[in-house]
Structure 1
Amino acid sequence: MRQIKILTLLCLVSILNTSCFEDNDDNQIAASSISDFVWKGMNVFYLYKDNISDLANDRFTSNAEYAAYLNDFSSPESLFESLIYQRETVDKYSWIVDDYIALEQQFQGVSTSNGMEFKLFLQPNSSTDLVGIVRLVLNDSDAETKGVQRGDMFNAVNDIQLTTANYSSLLSASNYTINMATYNDNGTSENADDSVESTGESISLSKIEYSENPIYYTNIYEVNGQNVGYLMYNGFTANYDTQLNSVFANFKANNIQHLILDLRYNPGGSVNSAILLSSMITGQFDGEIFSTEQWNSEFQAALENENPELLINRFKNNDDGTALNSLNLDKVYIIATDASASASELVINSLDPYINVMHIGSYTTGKYQASTTLYDSENFSREGANPNHTYAMQPLIFKSLNKVGNTDYDNGLTPDILIEESYLNLGVIGDVNETLLATVLTDISGATSKLSQLKSSSKTAFKLFKDSNNMERFGNEMYVDKTLPSNILNNTLFE
């Protein structure tokens, strides 16, 4: 099949946006150039290539058979989906898009948003009706301007009851009105007679282009005479790495003895930003292994043969020449929940062999794979991308392992202190009485009796249905923009 791949790379694109193939009779057979790009990119990079028989190098015996295979799919999306390994359980995160401009903007922290993050729960005693509870209102967003607050409850959109059947269409609109609600426990401790009731109030929201600063909130608290730094960090966005370094400069200047890193709603992002953050927390491990990568067997072998260092991510002491403000801590408190994914989990897992990582919250998402953006160009880079379309792929390309090889945490990372937010009493982010922050501050102070009280008060009466991050296609990404040496890529493509 390698010979076929050479032919398809060299083949000219016709005005009908098709690639040409030559069979043994030298007859040209038409197939979508986008589908050609999809198969080639997945064949080279896909993490689970070894598990997909249609991606085998010897899958096709002729160009004609290959072209017929591509033509059998109704769209590039259907071909891509056919190549995904166990979509429901293993690879839930590979995507194809028809507009890579929007994808690139999202990775830079720019998206269309009203700034309201929420969770949807099944209403008490119902298997279909939903209630939404606002968990976070983004700074300087439309939702903040309109007065939406953390903990607000809504049970309808545009005066239509939210259900498991209509939630997506109602909440994906650019403009909608949330109808506010309240929870009535009828004065009992049992859930059987609980209900969600409308208040008659409503708030109209609009999604606009929004650049989210992942540095949501920082503070310094005093506990038992010691300074405790707090950072709520909601996304690993490279554009804000310099500002993140400034936050740590302030922590360093204030001689903090403890650090609380709040990743409770952080869905992930740039691997490099995760390395920089971890290096700011520590500093004493410059040059040592932060994480290693495991690609598909073919690409793994090529990297090991040509340059095995490319499989290793190391702690750093600078960001493109700018010194990092590292704290040299040997212990860190990390707040993480089921909404903490990918690069957030990478930080926890990769720091764990080096320092005492106290994970407070709940089990994390369980995403240890990274992806990259593939374009329809000769070497799959942005440069030279096919001008006739804006399709791009974001397939999983490797899984991350920490220094001692820990990976495959499908059920998430296990907390050291298991405690959940009560969605009927979320509290204010940064307030010392907010449940998760209070738990960490209590552990630092050593007040064990108060810790027991916090744990017992963290129960929720709801059954989770959907997280707003999971409603976004790229909500839980861990991505890399690593440039592979041309000799390795060429050897893989043309061997």
Structure 2
Amino acid sequence: MKLKYLFNALFLTLVFISCSRDDNNDSGSTTKPDEINNFVWKAMNSWYYWQPNVPNLADAFDDNQTTYANFLNGKTPDKLFYSLLYQRGTIDRFSWIENNNEVVYSSKIAEVEKSGGFDIGIYPKDNTNTTAVALVNYVVPNSPAALAGLKRGDVITKVNGSPLTLNNSDLLYNNQVTVTLAATVQLTSAGLITTDKTSSISITQADIDENPIAYYEKKVYGTKNIGYLVFNAFKADYNDELNAAFAQMKADGINELVLDLRYNGGGSLETAVALAGMINDSYSGSPYVFLDFNNKHNSEDGFDYLSNQMNTYSLVNNRPEKSGTQTINSLNLTKVYVLVNFQTASASELTVQCLKKYVNVVTIGYDTVGKFVGSITLYDSPAQDYTSYTNRNTKHNWQLQPITFSYYNKDKDVNPEFIAPNYEINPYSIFNNLTAFGDVRDPFLKKALELITGQSFRMGNTSTSSFENKNLQKFNPTNAAKGLYIQDFQNFR
């Protein structure tokens, strides 16, 4: 399906009506809407998934140009944008705006991003939800964090000398940050008790193009050749590397797969569809995911289909541009084990929800985020309905990443609030048990291996405590930079 354009005659008629209406309402008015804010409102009015639910985005809202201009003017683009979201923080937790001169979230336009090179999960120390710790999920090799000595499984207790709380944890993403690590961590029935190391670690961000294929290992138990793959983002410019990883698994004779999506907040829809084929390409040509846009773009509604071919991309001026196609390397598995937790979202959840219609998907871990929506990037290009980067207004660098569609599996099942795993693991049980990727002391991986092999594996650091804070999704907002997005909407389908 492609974007539909109005016939010229109809367009001219609408322009005439619009001008006449504005002239009647604003005779002699010289008030003009701010140019950038006008783009923000018009683009949101056209594409925002919840546009009908937002009174200030109603089609008639701009009928009176003076009132409209007064509403827009005097606001910064970001303040305007966030004021237009539908129940921000509850219904819409994921839309964002950015100015490419001051990137706060790195969208698909910024595959190379400023980062310290470490990923964390925030855990309240107890149920008062005041003090917290940050568990280091992983560290990007050769990154500033790695060079500073930070490791997977480290526990951060202080940021810039102050005890870590749920209110100051954002400081960990600053350009420069100093962190204090725990010397000991004890899990009790009341929560976490920590002591601090006397020294601290300073990290300065650098430009990083993180490889989302973070780890692969073949584990052999009798006739079980188990592939353990840690996949941390659906980045289209790494499609070829992902395909190569599955080629290696084919060469290794992998007949069982543990796919670790615990730290994967989503990404490219194309990559998500390709991943399904790498797991099993027997269903090429079958519907995989259904996308539902708002009523203004019903022509875009429809299925994306499984394929044994995929596009590859290269970064050109930090933008993924198509470089070719490849035949998918598939394991043709009928069952896959997926590790999930409170940071698993969007394209990762799509993989579980849509793939399970074709193969047996066994989920292990903790409740996921519950992000069954996606976005396209909107630019100041009104002639192309705000979807063209090439034809954008280059006088500014603002661009929007609002939610523009919801997605469903091939049977269009109603999505749950979140994905509840088949086998639940207390997320606090991983403290003192995360070392290198692939270590069987990791309770999530341990459970998967036990299910596959029928064997029991010894836990590294055991605890009889059942302490658990049920608000981890709230304290770990999804990285909107990853989300679920369509790579090049103008060429979509």
Q: TM-score, normalised by structure 1?
A: 0.84
Task: Find the aligned partners of 1:165 and 1:471 in 2 and give their Cα distance.
Answer: 13
Specify the alignment match of 1:318 in structure 2. 309
TM-aligned CA deviation for residue 97 of structure 1: 1.2
Task: Find the aligned partners of 1:446 and 1:8 in 2 and give their Cα distance.
Answer: 72
Question: Alpha carbons of 1:440 and 1:99: their partners in 2 closer, same or farther (altered >3 Å)?
Answer: same
Question: Alpha carbons of 1:125 and 1:480: their partners in 2 closer, same or farther (altered >3 Å)?
Answer: closer
Over residues 284-324 of structure 1, what are the superposed CA-to-partner deviations in whole Å (9 max), with x where a residue is unaligned? 11111010111112311x44xxxxxx621110111243211
Question: Alpha carbons of 1:6 and 1:327: their partners in 2 closer, same or farther (altered >3 Å)?
Answer: farther
Specify the alignment match of 1:200 in structure 2. 198
Specify the alignment match of 1:491 in structure 2. none
Q: Could you tell me whether the CA contact under 8 Å between 1:21 and 1:30 is conserved in 2?
A: no
TM-aligned CA deviation for residue 4 of structure 1: 11
Specify the alignment match of 1:478 in structure 2. 484
Secondary structure of 2:368 counterpart: coil
Question: Alpha carbons of 1:5 and 1:26: their partners in 2 closer, same or farther (altered >3 Å)?
Answer: farther
Specify the alignment match of 1:347 in structure 2. 351
Over residues 406-431 of structure 1, what are the superposed CA-to-partner deviations in whole Å (9 max), with x where a residue is unaligned? 24332x11211111342422333112
Question: Alpha carbons of 1:6 and 1:87: their partners in 2 closer, same or farther (altered >3 Å)?
Answer: farther
Task: Find the aligned partners of 2:340 and 2:17 in 1 and give their Cα distance.
Answer: 46
How do 1:28-47 residues align onto structure 2 when only pairs under 5 Å count? 28-47=30-49
Specify the alignment match of 2:264 in structure 1. 266
Secondary structure of 2:81 counterpart: helix
Q: Could you tell me whether the CA contact under 8 Å between 1:469 and 1:475 is conserved in 2?
A: no
1:420 to 398, 423, 426: 426
Specify the alignment match of 2:227 in structure 1. 229
Counterpart residue identity of residue 294, structure 2: N
Cα RMSD of the aligned pairs, angstroms, is: 3.3
Secondary structure of 1:47 counterpart: coil
How do 1:398-413 residues align onto structure 2 when only pairs under 5 Å count? 398-410=405-417, 412-413=418-419
2:454 to 437, 446, 454: 446
TM-aligned CA deviation for residue 51 of structure 1: 1.1
Task: Find the aligned partners of 1:457 and 1:84 in 2 and give their Cα distance.
Answer: 44
Specify the alignment match of 2:116 in structure 1. 114
Q: Could you tell me whether the CA contact under 8 Å between 1:181 and 1:196 is conserved in 2?
A: yes
Task: Find the aligned partners of 1:182 and 1:212 in 2 and give their Cα distance.
Answer: 29
Secondary structure of 2:33 counterpart: strand
TM-aligned CA deviation for residue 342 of structure 1: 0.4
Over residues 133-191 of structure 1, what are the superposed CA-to-partner deviations in whole Å (9 max), with x where a residue is unaligned? 222112221111222112212322232222344333x3233122212223364xxx854
- Structure 2 segments unaligned to the other structure (5+ residues): 1-10, 312-324
How do 1:242-391 residues align onto structure 2 when only pairs under 5 Å count? 242-300=240-298, 302-303=299-300, 311-320=302-311, 321-378=325-382, 379=384, 380=386, 381-391=388-398
Task: Find the aligned partners of 1:4 and 1:392 in 2 and give their Cα distance.
Answer: 30
Question: Alpha carbons of 1:194 and 1:235: their partners in 2 closer, same or farther (altered >3 Å)?
Answer: closer
Counterpart residue identity of residue 132, structure 1: A
Task: Find the aligned partners of 1:344 and 1:119 in 2 and give their Cα distance.
Answer: 17
Question: Alpha carbons of 1:167 and 1:359: their partners in 2 closer, same or farther (altered >3 Å)?
Answer: closer
Specify the alignment match of 1:492 in structure 2. none
Secondary structure of 2:421 counterpart: coil
Counterpart residue identity of residue 50, structure 2: Y
Specify the alignment match of 1:179 in structure 2. 180
TM-aligned CA deviation for residue 470 of structure 1: 4.6
Counterpart residue identity of residue 29, structure 1: T
Secondary structure of 2:178 counterpart: strand
Q: Could you tell me whether the CA contact under 8 Å between 2:342 and 2:476 is conserved in 1?
A: no
Question: Alpha carbons of 1:383 and 1:5: their partners in 2 closer, same or farther (altered >3 Å)?
Answer: farther
Task: Find the aligned partners of 2:462 and 2:13 in 1 and give their Cα distance.
Answer: 63
| Greater mean deviation of Cα atoms: 104-113 or 334-343 | 104-113
Question: Alpha carbons of 1:461 and 1:475: their partners in 2 closer, same or farther (altered >3 Å)?
Answer: farther
Question: Alpha carbons of 1:476 and 1:455: their partners in 2 closer, same or farther (altered >3 Å)?
Answer: farther
Over residues 83-107 of structure 1, what are the superposed CA-to-partner deviations in whole Å (9 max), with x where a residue is unaligned? 2111121111111112278466655
Over residues 67-120 of structure 1, what are the superposed CA-to-partner deviations in whole Å (9 max), with x where a residue is unaligned? 34333x522223222221111211111111122784666555321111122223
Secondary structure of 1:341 counterpart: coil
Task: Find the aligned partners of 1:150 and 1:429 in 2 and give their Cα distance.
Answer: 8
Secondary structure of 1:30 counterpart: coil
| Greater mean deviation of Cα atoms: 147-156 or 265-274 | 147-156
Specify the alignment match of 1:78 in structure 2. 79
TM-aligned CA deviation for residue 349 of structure 1: 0.6
TM-aligned CA deviation for residue 338 of structure 1: 1.1
Over residues 18-64 of structure 1, what are the superposed CA-to-partner deviations in whole Å (9 max), with x where a residue is unaligned? xx999552544211011111111111111111212222223343434
1:167 to 159, 166, 169: 169
TM-aligned CA deviation for residue 127 of structure 1: 4.5
Q: Could you tell me whether the CA contact under 8 Å between 2:123 and 2:475 is conserved in 1?
A: no
Q: Kindly indicate whether residue 429 of structure 2 is the aligned counterpart of residue 429 of structure 1.
A: no
Counterpart residue identity of residue 138, structure 1: V
Task: Find the aligned partners of 1:341 and 1:238 in 2 and give their Cα distance.
Answer: 17
Specify the alignment match of 1:15 in structure 2. none
Task: Find the aligned partners of 1:214 and 1:207 in 2 and give their Cα distance.
Answer: 18
Question: Alpha carbons of 1:387 and 1:5: their partners in 2 closer, same or farther (altered >3 Å)?
Answer: farther
Counterpart residue identity of residue 416, structure 2: Y
2:236 to 235, 238, 244: 238
Q: Could you tell me whether the CA contact under 8 Å between 2:122 and 2:476 is conserved in 1?
A: no
